[in-house]
Every structure is written in C-alpha cells, then in structure tokens.
Structure 1
Amino acid sequence: MQCDFMEKEVMIPGEYLLSATITIPKQEQAVIPGILMIPGTGNVDRDENFTFLSMNILKDLSQVMVQEGFVTLRYDKRGVGKSGGSFYRASFWDLVEDAKAALDFLRAQPYVDRKRIIALGHSEGAIIAAALYGKVAVDGMILLCGFAHSLEEIIERRKNRILQDLDHIKGIKGLLLRLLKAKAFLDWQYRATKKKVMKDKRTVIRIKGKRLNVQWLREHFQYNVMTDLKKVNCPTLVLGGSADVQAASSQVEEIAQAIKGPVESHVIHNLSHILRKDPMAGSVLGGILDYWQQAEKPIDPEVIQILTEWLKRFKE
C-alpha cells in the first residue's frame, strides 16, 4: 500500500526541549488518529538507533503506521540526538514526564483526532507507556517486547540465564571458565554492584570507569509495572518473540492477563528483541551480540502484518 506523507522536525516543550519528527499522511479527513512512539532502553534516538548500532525500529514502524492513515510522533530521548538535557541524569520518572510532554504535543495538533491516540512502546518504552497510562489515559496501546516485572527482577533473571549459559560452554574455553570460577565471580560482582547502586544516593556514579545512572536504576527497581498495566482499559496489542533474550516471551501473556480492556497478544516464533527473526538465538550474550547482524535485515513481515491488521480494526 502506497501512501503520500509529509515529515517535519518539531521541538516538544517540557523540562527540556525534545527534538522530534512528526509524520503526517496526506488524507482528506479533517482529523487523523495519532500514534506516540516511545523508544526503548539506552541512549537511543527517535529511530531507536545508538551511535554504534542502527536498528531503525521506530522509523520503519512509523512508515507502516502512516500507510495505515495514522499520524506518528517519535522523539530523541532526553540528552540524545538533538534533544536537551542529560541522558545520564534522566531518571525513570523524567522519561515518563517526557513521554507525557510528547503526548500533550501530539494531542495539541489540529489535524490529530484527540479521541483516537495510541501509545506505542518498545522494550523499556513499553514500561514507560504503562506508567504514562497511569497518569494520562490514551485510547489504544501497542506494547512490543515489553516487561511484566520490575527491572530488578529482569536483571536478576538475565544474570541467572548468563550463569546457566556459562555451564554449556565446552572445550578449553569452558574448562578455563570453570578453573577461574567465573560463575562465582560474576554472581559476586552482580551482588556488589546492586548493593552499591541501592546505597548510593547520587544520580550518576562510575563503575569500572563507566558512567551509570543509579537514580534511573533505583526508580526502575521500585516501580511495579503491573500496577499500571491493571489500569489499562483500552484496546491493546501485546507482542513478543520466542527468541527474545531480554524480555522473556512468557511475559506477553502476563501483560495481556493484567489488562482490563480488549487485548490481543502474539508470541512470534524465533523473533528477537529487535523485531527480527533469530533462529540461532540460544544464549543471552550470543543473542545480544547478534543484533548487529539482525539489524541489517528489515523488521519481520509477521510483525508488520499483525500491526497493520490490528490498526485497521482500531480505526473501525
């Protein structure tokens, strides 16, 4: 389906100005439904790209949604790209407030149907979308590779999965890891880092020379996403992948069961966290390192099909 559209760069007012792209389909309707696109974890820009890895997740999804007759708004996170503020000093609740500022901006556009606005979140963006709904209700939700648990539980599970993966390394490498007691060291390092994060009251600290936003971590650890998911009373699409080594696919059903409104859920076979197929995914470290290869491929067609069918039903 071909669709003419117009893209323009805008600045979203808030605590700091957020640089964003609004994409508008050329249609005859007076007002058009809108989609706020909330980026995921890390210092990613409006397209969900890092400086070292281009994934273009939100950029590519935006093209799909505009073709279906939706206005989309996607923004650089605080302190990233052309946005103001500091990424390393942005707390979890700062990111939620930035999403709210973006939602207010989208609702204020004269060509946007204020009664038909969807919040789309990918990865951490799905958690932020739930927290946003807890403050300001929207008319639809799309949660991609999201989480049903706190970041503390997620990191704990990922750590345990990495420790399990170490047991399956064979040959001389596996022997050396066992002789060096790598599992015990990694477990100790995790517990020591967590203790430091929870005790230190500063916003930013350095661990092994790298800056870490401990306020963001503490607020994530303390936030229970299920509390706000249980408030969601609008049409919602929940989608994940069986090869997602960051957000376990079992969480798709947990999220879906928590939501009050009409919900549709999908777990796509062999789909990774970055919405591409990864049939070789087996370990946490291997799956994440494979993102560079996966990013060269387009978003999985099954994801696109599910999204477009759901969006068509939302507009009915």
Structure 2
Amino acid sequence: MTPDISGDWHGVLDTGAAKVKLGVRLEGDTAWINRRSGAVDALPLRRDGDRIVFELLPVDLAFDLRLAGDRLQGTCFHNSVDFPVSLARGVAPPAVHAARPQTLVPPFPYDVAGISFTGADGSMRSGTLTRPPGPGPHRVIVLSSWFGEVDRDQTVAGHKPMALWADQLTRLGFATLRYDKRGVGRSEGRFDTASTGDFAADLAAAIAFLRTRSDLGAVGLMGHSEGAHISADIAAADPHVAFCVMMTPTALPDEDILETEMFNAARVVGGVPRDFDRTVGFVRALCEASKAPTREQTLARAREILTAVAYPSERLELRAAIAATPWQRYWATHDHTAGLRGLICPALVVLAEKDLQTPPRAHGAAIAAANAAATVVTLPGLNHLLQPAITGAPSEYAEIETSLAPEAIATVCDWIAAR
C-alpha cells in the first residue's frame, strides 16, 4: 500500500548562503510550493515507489525525496548543488524574533543627530552623526558598509553592526558618521545603477561635508567588506585621512579562486556540487564577459555563454543582466589591492579565520604583500560578519546572537586608540 503523503509539509533549505523556509502542500499528483515572493506554484508530482519528485525550474529548484518515518527526506537541487533537505508534516510555526543581546537602547552618553549631505550624484544622503561629550573638535570616523542594498546600520539578519561600531567608537572618544547608501533608507539617488566606484565617490563627498564643520577634526575611515575597499581607495587618494581600517576585504579577482572557493559555503552545510568543471567554467566566462567595453557587449557575450551551457531559458536573461549591471562590470575590473598599496596613512586589516566570503586562506597573502606597513590580523573562530561562528556559512548569521565578537571590537578599538 502506498503511504499517504497528502497535506502540508514544512522545512528549511540551507544553501550555506541563506536558510530558506519551505512550505509545500501535496495533493494527488500536484505539489503546491510557496515562494519567498508570496507566489504559490502548482508543480507536477511524480511518485516511483517511495520516491517523490517535483521541480520548479523558473527558480532552479528540484526536489527528490523519500518518506522516512514521519518525514520526507532527500535532496533539493539548487544553483548547481544538491543540498540535503528534510520536510516535516504540518505548517511551520511562526518565527519569533527577539532582540539581539548587543541591540543598542537609548539613552546614550553621547550626542546622536540626523544629518544630510550631497552625494557625488547631486542627490541627498541621509545619515547619523554621533559625537562624544565636550566642545571638540572631535576626531571623526566614517563607517562604510559591505556589499548590497543596506542601510546606515548595515542591518542584516537582525544585526546592526555599524550602529554597534558607532557606539563603541564614540564611547572611545571619536565622533562617527554612518549613512544610508544611495537609493536606500532615507537617502536619495539610485542604487541599481551604482557601482563600487560610485559608493567611493559618495564617501569622498561625506568627508568633504565633515570638513566644513568646526566641531569635527581629523577624519579616519573604517569599512567592512566592499566598504573596506571604498575606504582604502579614498584614503589612498586623500593624504589628509588620518587612518584606515579594512575589515574582511578581498585581494584577488573572483575568477582566480573559483576552483577552491566557489562552493565552500554550500559544502559546509552538506551540499554536493554537480558538474563542477562546467559550472566553474561558465561562471569564469561570465566574469570575463563583465569586462567588455560596453554593457551591450557584456549582455551579448553573456547570452552566448549561457546558451552554450544550456542554461534554463526561463532564467537566462536575468542571469545575463546580472553580469551586465554597473556594479558587476566595475567590480570585474577593480584592482582589489590598489587602495591598500597606495595608503600612506596607518592601516589595519582585520581578517576572520572562518570567513567563507573573503577567506584569509585565499586572500591573506596578497593582502599582506600589498602593504608591508599595514597591521594585518586574522581573528580565530570568526565569520565574515565578525561573529563567533560554527561553520562560517552566511546562513548562520541569523542564528548567531552575537552581532560583533568582543575580540573584534577590542582589536579595532585598541588599534584606533593607539593612533
């Protein structure tokens, strides 16, 4: 007798990059699956003995499951990787999000003020300026966030690391400025057409704004991930910057480390890549396509590459468009250590042992070689966000209660205080 699998099932797909909640209803020969967008798709369900298969090709999902006791267990194929997955009967209980232990609660022993300044594109940037007690002029540190459409606090997975850095540095006696990226939060402008170079230009505009204020003095820069590159690039071009702190930066182009680093986050959560050489090959080719002189040339070349590997037609144009975004085309030709090489001010580079996004084993040697005068520190047990980690996979960020490891805070603050 064939077991009854009809009804609701729920689980979590851990890709290493993120944890995605799964909601599935099985009815006869149809699997209804909920997407994060809110859409519900009806998929043909195939059964072969105890094997259950259903696919959602437009978003690159294919489930191959078997009933094991009261669970459906097997694999989910996504982004060229087979991931282990387990579904339990019923609807997932609602998530409960408690405040993180390091969540800041006013009142603060310093001044907090909203500010605005004109960005490099002529539109307004909105930010937060913190100042320690006293008339000043206060030394000031500008904080730059990592990659992506993030606000001034770098809000991610319930954490607000830039707000925490601002708090710690202001208690140390520095003023700080952090601001929403263009097109994010309260800042004007367009995020979708901006590159790392545009964000760097906005940082230069922020520095120019701060130098108009009589209550502020010397300017130092501190950035995380992409923000680390922005900080170094601007500090190298501005001899009046007092110091530069780079947290978890890269040093090598993406295509140089695909064979060793591309699937690391997937592997640490049990993922098994399929067609490894094929996937690495076309991703490397797309990186090269992004270097074409024009966006149209990048699009045309990307379409050729994706067509040659029989990339799913439903997603081909979207993947080609990603290769042709202003951000991707700039990053593809960006010299990742140029800013660090050009620094004349004191510099601190903080790497994290379990970082799977910019792993020290891949980037550490090139970073150290780029500037022999810089202080380079690798903190054990921490991930890219500078949290205490188990595997280092980004999908852990939300499950780790600590927003910034105390040893990361101490390393940075002690170095800055010594300046």
TM-score by length of 1: 0.82
Equivalence for 1:201: 294
What residue in structure 2 maps to residue 93 of structure 1? Answer: 197
- Match of 2:262, SS? helix
2:64 matched to 1:64?
no
Q: More displaced, 102-111 or 60-69? A: 102-111
Displacement of 1:55 in angstroms is 2.6
1:290 match: 396
The runs of at least 4 aligned residues of structure 1 exceeding 4 Å deviation read: 163-170, 203-208
1:17 maps to: 124
Provide the rounded CA distance (Å) in 2 between the counterparts of 1:19 and 1:168: 39
Alpha-carbon offset, residue 226 of structure 1 = 2.4
When residues 195 and 63 of structure 1 are mapped into structure 2, their CA distance, relative to the original with a 3 A threshold, is same
2:234 alignment counterpart: 132
| Deviation for aligned residue 1:308 | 2.1
Give 1:249 shift.
1.7
Structure with greater proportional helix content: 1
Q: CA deviation at 1:264?
A: 2.3
For the residues of structure 2 that align with 1:311 and 1:169, how far apart are their CA atoms? 36
- Residue 240 of structure 1 corresponds to 351
Stretches of structure 2 that go unaligned for 5 or more consecutive residues are 1-106, 300-314
Q: In the alignment, is the contact (CA less than 8 A) between 2:291 and 2:333 conserved in 1? A: no
Q: CA contact under 8 A between 1:19 and 1:82: conserved in structure 2?
A: yes
- Note the C-alpha offset of 1:157: 1.8
How far did residue 304 of structure 1 move?
Answer: 1.2
Aligned partner of 2:371 in structure 1 is 259
Instruction: Measure, in 2, the Cα distance between the counterparts of 1:123 and 1:164.
Output: 18
- In structure 2, relative to structure 1, the CA distance for the partners of 1:207 and 1:79 (3 Å cut) is farther
Closer, same or farther in 2 for the Cα pair 1:11/1:161, shift >3 Å?
A: same
Shift of 1:3: 6.7
The residue type paired with residue 146 of structure 1 is: P
Q: Which residue does the alignment assign to 2:112? A: 7
Query: For 1:25-174, what aligned pairs fall within 5 Å after superposition?
Result: 25-27=132-134, 29-50=135-156, 53-113=157-217, 116-137=218-239, 138-149=241-252, 153-154=253-254, 156-158=256-258, 160-163=260-263, 174=272
The CA distance in 2 between the partners of 1:168 and 1:260, in whole Å, is 33
Cα distance in 1 for residues equivalent to 2:378 and 2:344: 22
Superimposed CA distance per residue, residues 124-177 of structure 1 (whole angstroms, 9 cap, x where no aligned partner): 01111121123223111111111223xxx235525642357778887xx75xx6
8 Å Cα contact 2:287-2:332 kept in structure 1: no
With normalisation by structure 2, the TM-score equals 0.63
Q: What do the CA deviations read for 1:101-137 (whole angstroms, capped 9, x no partner)?
A: 1111122221111xx3211010001111121123223
Q: Report what 2:52 is aligned to.
A: none
How many Å separate the matches in 1 of 2:145 and 2:267?
Answer: 34
Unaligned runs of 5+ in 1: 282-286
Rounded to whole Å, the distance in 2 between the matches of 1:148 and 1:55 is 26
Q: 1 or 2, which has the higher strand percentage?
A: 2
Larger deviation, residues 5-14 vs 32-41: 5-14
Cα drift, residue 257 of structure 1: 4.1
Structural RMSD (CA):
2.8
The structure having more radius of gyration, on CA atoms, is 2
- Map 1:272-311 onto structure 2 (within 5 A): 272-281=383-392, 287-294=393-400, 296-311=401-416
- 1: CA distance between counterparts of 2:203 and 2:278? 39
Q: In structure 2, how many angstroms separate the alpha carbons of the residues matched to 1:303 and 1:268?
A: 7
Aligned residues: 291
Question: What is the percentage of aligned positions where both structures have the same residue?
Answer: 24
User: CA 1:258/1:191 → structure 2, altered by over 3 Å: closer, same or farther?
Assistant: closer
- In structure 1, what is the equivalent of residue 418 of structure 2? 313
2:338 corresponds to which residue? 227
Cα pair distance change 1:164/1:311, threshold 3 Å: closer
Q: How far does residue 299 in structure 1 lie from its aligned partner after superposition?
A: 0.8
Counterpart of 2:283 in structure 1 is: 190
Asked if the contact 2:268/2:391 (under 8 Å) is kept, the reply is no
Task: Tell me how far 1:253 sits from its aligned partner.
Answer: 5.2
- Letter paired with 1:245: L
Superposition deviation, residue 258 in structure 1: 2.6
Aligned amino acid, residue 235 of structure 2: Y
Provide the C-alpha distance between the structure 1 equivalents of 2:231 and 2:176, rounded to a whole number of angstroms: 15
Give the drift of 1:76.
0.6
Say whether the 8 Å CA contact 1:8–1:23 is kept in structure 2: yes
Assess if the C-alpha contact under 8 Å between 1:38 and 1:125 holds in 2.
yes
Question: Residue 44 of structure 1 aligns to which amino acid in structure 2?
Answer: V
Closer, same or farther: CA 273–163 of 1 in aligned 2, 3 Å = closer
Secondary structure in 1 matching 2:257? helix
